[in-house]
Amino acid sequence: MTTTAQPAAPGAQPQELADGVDLVIDALRLNGIDTIFGLPGIPITDLTRRAQAAGMRVISFRHEQSAGYAASIAGFLTQQPGICLTVSAPGFLNGLNALAHATTNCFPMILISGSSEREIVDLQQGDYEELDQLAVARPLAKAAYRVLHARDIGVGIARAIRAAVSGRPGGVYLDLPAQLLAQTMDAAAGRNSLIKVVDPAPRQIPAPEAVQRALELLKSAKRPLIILGKGAAYARADDEIRALIERTGIPYLPMSMAKGLLPDTHEQCASAARSYVLPGADVVMLIGARLNWLLSHGKGRTWGGKGAKDRGAQKFIQIDISPQEADSNVRIDAPVVGDIGSCVAALLAGMAAGFGRPPTDWLGSIAERKSGNIEKMAEMLARNPAPMNFHSALNVVRDIVKANPDAILVNEGANALDFTRSIVDMYQPRKRIDVGTWGIMGIGMGYCVAAAVVTGKPVIAVEGDSAFGFSGMEVETICRYDLPVCIVVMNNNGVYRGVDVNPTGGRDAAPTAFVKGARYDRIMEAFGGAGAHAATPAQLRRAMEEAVRSRRPTLINAVIDESAGTESGRITSLNPAARKK
């Protein structure tokens, strides 16, 4: 929308003007960005209204943290920066958690926040919602920019887009002071100042000698292993990755959000023999996965080391877009720096002349471990205790996901996370989105909204009752936009478990205990969605089938044995005080 100023002189043509809001909207649309996740308020309310009027999708949340998480995962799912729009100071701070999350997880996202007047903020004169937002955001973002003049909006948005998606993706902060949004300039000059970013995430071709080094190491392996991380899922090099794995015959382990890049039921998938292949492998090729805490830093007993700090005997190949990633935890013998599509294609080209399959004794012993563990798991899943435990409930989820392989599975919690990851198989790429690198809670409903909005696919969320609480009010958002989201709350009455009691005998509940027998399903009903209460696997199955069939917003309160679950799920060892118990 442009405004018209009075002609400067009688008889002169009226001048067409554009303001900051026009230019922000036009700059985003020029770059193919058609969705904003946010929460209106001073000074960006009009920006949300006018963005919608201009044909953008504006998804309005109840809390900025959820809008931010939505933007971050939209970035992962689309390779375009997800946009989160917030008000100044407190709204900005609420969005900051997600900005840091995007940076940590290598998701492209732009947090755009309105801010107060620079002159007053810098002299600390006490403006409305005064905060030096740029300074606060900078250490948590891959890049942070502020635009002071309407004529620079095009550059500001172009820089933010490039910073978010090029190289290792991350979170970018863009500060838009209130006065900027009201600033006007000649509309034609404004249009001319906008930039359509050319090739925002250029391919990065690996050096031939790096590819050769990696190939030689891989060829020398007697017990090779490939680890796929969420960088591999993000890169959308699905065909190349499948070709590499199937042509080499090398067993692979998917990290949590890489599950489904190849179906978890693939015969080369070694997930069910994880504790055998990590210490057993002699050459490990990491593709878009970091050797951080989720992989025990590449050392210790997990990897066959003798103590917590010793490395095993493995040699590592690491494919990563970041040249700084190699050697961050242990020596990387063959780093291959580039984008995953180009790197994997180069490896495949180098194998064209032939590449031997891994020795059969390695494959045979993995297959043996796998079938033993799969059998044990099948026994656990077949049991039908009353009340339900995580296994009997997740056995149902496992079947529903198998029957709906294009549904997106959102997952957060402690036990609800760990059990789901190992029990529920995924069949297609980028269908599992979860707590990510930090293992945080609170992503749940924001992820559900974004996944449904940007993919149009049905969404199934498996939520711990504690995890759900962090973003539960967004159930209203899900109902308001009538999204095909089925939430299953694994309700065991507390954090980890619901059995703790106050040792003093006082009135206050124990810190980890919630209201017993809570009916989370009624929260969904309050906003017009479908609620269901499931005390048995049969009830859970019926409710999930109906939710997927109807595509109605649904929340199923799945009653789980309150004594089921362990402290901190599978990461009890990170909780030193609990370890001593």
CB nearer ligand ADP, residue 64 or residue 339: 339
Strand pairing report for 171-177 and 224-228: unpaired
Residue whose Cβ sits closest to ligand ADP: 231
Q: Stretches 67-75, 128-136, 254-262, 353-361: which one binds ligand ADP (CB under 6 A)?
A: 254-262
Site string for ligand ADP, 258-277 (x = CB under 6 A): x-------------------
Positions 291 through 310 that interact with ligand ADP (CB under 6 A) = 292, 294
Q: Least distance in Å: CB of 352 to ligand ADP?
A: 22
Give the C-alpha separation, 286 to 81, whole Å: 25
CB nearer ligand ADP, residue 134 or residue 343: 343
From candidates 159, 162, 230, 421, binder to ligand ADP by CB under 6 A? 230
CB nearer ligand ADP, residue 202 or residue 356: 202
Q: Which residues contact 36 (CB under 8 A, 6 or more apart)?
A: 28, 48, 51, 56, 57, 58, 59, 83, 84, 85
CB nearer ligand ADP, residue 240 or residue 567: 240
The reply on whether position 328 binds ligand ADP by CB under 6 A is: no
Positions 101 through 140 that interact with ligand ADP (CB under 6 A) = 105-106
Q: Stretches 38-46, 223-231, 372-380, 458-466: which one binds ligand ADP (CB under 6 A)?
A: 223-231
CA distances in angstroms from 30 to 24, 60, 196, 205, 281, listed in the order given: 10, 22, 6, 28, 49
Q: Least distance in Å: CB of 319 to ligand ADP?
A: 6
Site string for ligand ADP, 353-392 (x = CB under 6 A): ----------------------------------------
Positions 539 through 578 that interact with ligand ADP (CB under 6 A) = none
Q: Stretches 142-150, 225-233, 388-396, 413-421: which one binds ligand ADP (CB under 6 A)?
A: 225-233
The DSSP 8-state label assigned to residue 536 in this structure reads S
- Count residues near ligand ADP (CB under 6 A): 23
Ramachandran angles phi, psi of 460, nearest 5°? -120, 125
Site string for ligand ADP, 414-443 (x = CB under 6 A): -----------------------x------
CB nearer ligand ADP, residue 321 or residue 450: 321
Tokens of 493: 């009455």
Q: Under a CB-based contact definition with an 8 Å cutoff, are residues 42 and 88 in contact?
A: yes
CB nearer ligand ADP, residue 185 or residue 287: 287
CB nearer ligand ADP, residue 78 or residue 88: 78
Within 13 Å and on the Cβ side, how many CA atoms surround 296? 21
Q: What distance separates the 2 farthest-apart alpha carbons in the chain? A: 92
Give the C-alpha separation, 142 to 138, whole Å: 8
Site string for ligand ADP, 160-199 (x = CB under 6 A): --------x-------------------------------
Q: Least distance in Å: CB of 437 to ligand ADP?
A: 5
145 three-state secondary structure: strand
The reply on whether position 71 binds ligand ADP by CB under 6 A is: no
Find residue 143's DSSP bridge partners: 172
Q: Under a CB-based contact definition with an 8 Å cutoff, are residues 444 and 467 in contact?
A: yes
Tally of residues, the chain = 581
DSSP E strands, 6-164: 15-19, 35-38, 57-60, 82-86, 109-115, 143-146
The DSSP 8-state label assigned to residue 331 in this structure reads -
> For residue 570, which amino acid is it?
R
Within 13 Å and on the Cβ side, how many CA atoms surround 36? 26
CB nearer ligand ADP, residue 27 or residue 287: 287
The reply on whether position 340 binds ligand ADP by CB under 6 A is: yes
Q: Burial of 41 by CB count in 10 Å (0-12 exposed, 13-18 middle, 19+ buried)?
A: middle
Q: Under a CB-based contact definition with an 8 Å cutoff, are residues 253 and 228 in contact?
A: yes
Q: Least distance in Å: CB of 233 to ligand ADP?
A: 8
CB nearer ligand ADP, residue 292 or residue 539: 292
Q: Under a CB-based contact definition with an 8 Å cutoff, are residues 253 and 276 in contact?
A: no
Q: Least distance in Å: CB of 452 to ligand ADP?
A: 23
* Alpha helices (H) along 221-304: 230-234, 238-248, 274-280
CB nearer ligand ADP, residue 229 or residue 429: 229
CB nearer ligand ADP, residue 154 or residue 288: 288
- Tell me which residues touch ligand ADP (CB under 6 A): 105-106, 168, 229-231, 234-235, 255, 257-258, 288-290, 292, 294, 320-322, 325, 339-340, 437
